[in-house]
Structure 1
Amino acid sequence: MEKEKMLITLERYDQLIAERAVYKNEAQRLEDENIELKAQIKDLEEENNKIPSIHFNTPKTTDEEEVLIVD
């Protein structure tokens, strides 16, 4: 009887070790995915910063006013 309990305990221990390995692998995969996504975000932010902003309501510069006067 004691050996049966011990055998069940060892089987459960092995099962828990296997489950732990699965969770550790999943955690590592998610961490790698997180790092990759952070790199993509950084690249997109850098790309966004390179795009010039267009301001439609800006006053005309002096040079533009001179061109209008000459025309």
Structure 2
Amino acid sequence: MPRQELLVIDRFEEDAAVIEYGRQTFTLPRSLLPRAAKEGDVIKLAVVLDNEATLRRKKEVRSLADEVFAK
């Protein structure tokens, strides 16, 4: 079951949104939030592992390393 955590938009600073998470804060690019998002809004954040993209990236890095170290 997904974790449910309360995330609140504290404020906007230029192109960043300052997010409150318990007693901590962090920033997200404002472009990741809906256009209608405003200070005080509660947001949901889903973090999902993309195993296919991870495997593709590992192959690309391995291929680049092989090119560099094969010389």
TM-score (norm 2): 0.31
Structure index of larger Rg: 1
Q: Which has the higher contact order (CA 8 A, sep 6+)?
A: 2
Q: Report which of the two has the higher share of strand.
A: 2
Q: Report which of the two has the higher share of helix.
A: 1
